[in-house]
Amino acid sequence: MQPAYLTAERNLLYLSSMKGAILQLIGTQALPPGNLFKHLALRLFKYQFEQNRPYRELILSQNINADTIQDWDEIPPFPAMAFKFSVVACRPLSLAERVFVSSGTTQEERSRHAFFDLDIAKAAILTHFKKHLLPDRERIRFAILTPSPQEAPQSSLSHMMEVVRTTYGSDGSGYYIEGGRLQSEQLAADLLEASTPICLLGTSFSFVHFIDFFEQKGRPCPLPKGSRLMDTGGLKGKSRTVPPEWIYQKAESLWEIPRNYCVNEYGMTEMTSQFYDGIIGTDIKFPRAYMAPPQVKTRVLSPETLEPVAKGEIGILAHYDLANIDSVAAILTEDLGREVTGGFLLIGRAAHAPDKGCSIAIEELLERDNIFSTR
């Protein structure tokens, strides 16, 4: 048996090599050759099987011989819900730079995802965001309808927003949820006075609440040409449910943001990478499919057998995110989806799976704390 310090040194060298290869893949923003993704996925699987105890125990409990795994789509996915009950990490939690916690109420178990090196997360966030939200410019003024990372330090969404703001944000960029209150009056005033394009970012239900306020208190306010909107999370809330295109219809009628300048983001605490369902300024293709970055592949599996379903059939989504370098790359979600050309459609949640997502959490926060601040 090797001394512990030699094992740790070997792992760090291995991680350094993997990190460089994954960062290079993220930076290409092109579909990688199949053998490259396969090669990196198998290397990462070997490391995670050896170093991640909950993942290793799951695989062994299913009588799977890790040495027989020959391709990325043979790698067993780890249930996302298990992040609620296990420390899913390849290194001691004490060494983590950040631990992000999923949204939810204090009565619920919440997923925890430890990050030991934020460089890969930053690269994954910025590269795919730039491709989909800022293909035509380097900077823009952001109006962000989430808490800041100072107010929500455990939120991976707030972390993502801050990475985007500090890298691509122009003067005047800022957050409009403070102390659990949506600063509706201030946001409405800032939109009325805007002289340069605005990029509105927020959870779907923060937009629902702001649109309600805007229609009650304000009037249509054409934003400067080139303004855009990104929402994240679903539109099935605790208080009401609205149709998927409702926000974009309102954005067009209230602020003259064209629908092809509106994009939805899909992410989860248990993943490092994100998906988007469009590219700003391009023709909208219906149905709007979520597109993966080059470091991610998705399978649609039968809930009963975890075998792939035929293309076009509904199944459970399993994401293979190579940016999840220090946890588990293969994640079995509780989301239902369907494979389509260019990506996948998000259908809903599996039966008995709890409602999830930052959108519902923000809705609960705002409703509890009297959302409409007028100061």
Q: Which of 298, 280, 306 is nearest to 338 (CA)?
A: 298
The 10s digit of each residue's pLDDT in 19-51 is 999 999 999 877 777 789 999 999 999 999 999
Average pLDDT, the chain: 89
Does 119-285+355-368 carry CATH code 3.40.50.980? yes
The average pLDDT across 235-255 equals 82
Residue 370 has pLDDT above 70, yes or no: no
Q: DSSP per residue over 133-166, as a string?
A: H-TT-S-BEEEEES--TTT-TT-HHHHHHHHHHH
- Give residue 358's pLDDT: 52
- Give the total residue count for the chain: 375
Question: pLDDT tier at 108 (50, 70, 90 boundaries)?
Answer: low
For residue 365, name the pLDDT band (cuts at 50, 70, 90): very low
Q: What is the pLDDT of residue 229?
A: 98
Q: What is the pLDDT of residue 222?
A: 96
Predicted local confidence at residue 92, as pLDDT: 95
Give bridge partners of residue 141 from the DSSP assignment. 198
How far out from the chain centre does Cα 275 lie? 7
Contact 111, 139 (CB under 8 A): no
> For residue 86, which phi and psi values (nearest 5 degrees)?
-135, 155
Q: Which pLDDT band holds residue 272 (cuts at 50, 70, 90)? A: very high
Copy the structure tokens of residue 265.
Answer: 């983001």
Closest to 213 in 3D by CA, of 238, 258, 181: 181
CA distance 309 to 315: 7
Share above pLDDT 70 across residues of the chain, in percent, rounded to a whole number: 87
Task: Specify the pLDDT at position 372.
Answer: 34
The predicted pLDDT at position 74 comes to: 97
- Whether 239 shows a pLDDT value over 70: the answer reads no
Kindly tell me if the per-residue pLDDT of 373 is higher than 50.
no
pLDDT for residue 189 is more than 80: yes
Tokens of 18: 């993997």
Instruction: Output the pLDDT for position 237.
Output: 53
Neighbours of 17 (CB within 10 A): 11
Query: What is the rounded average pLDDT of the residues 193-211?
Result: 95
Query: What's the Rg (C-alpha) of the chain?
Result: 21
pLDDT for residue 28? 86
Residue type, 36: L
Predicted local confidence at residue 268, as pLDDT: 95
Q: Which residue has the higher pLDDT, 11 or 312?
A: 312
In DSSP notation, 228-248 reads EEEEES-SB-SS-B--TTHHH
State pLDDT tens for residues 275-332. Answer: 999 999 999 888 899 999 999 999 999 999 999 999 999 999 999 999 999 999 999 9
Comparing 283 with 14, the larger pLDDT belongs to 283
Q: How far from 119 is each of 11, 126, 270, 313, 324, CA to CA, in Å?
A: 18, 11, 17, 37, 12
Quick: pLDDT tens for 142-188.
Answer: 999 999 999 999 999 999 999 999 999 999 999 999 998 999 999 99
Return phi, psi of residue 328, to 5°. Answer: -140, 125
- Which DSSP letter does residue 183 get? -
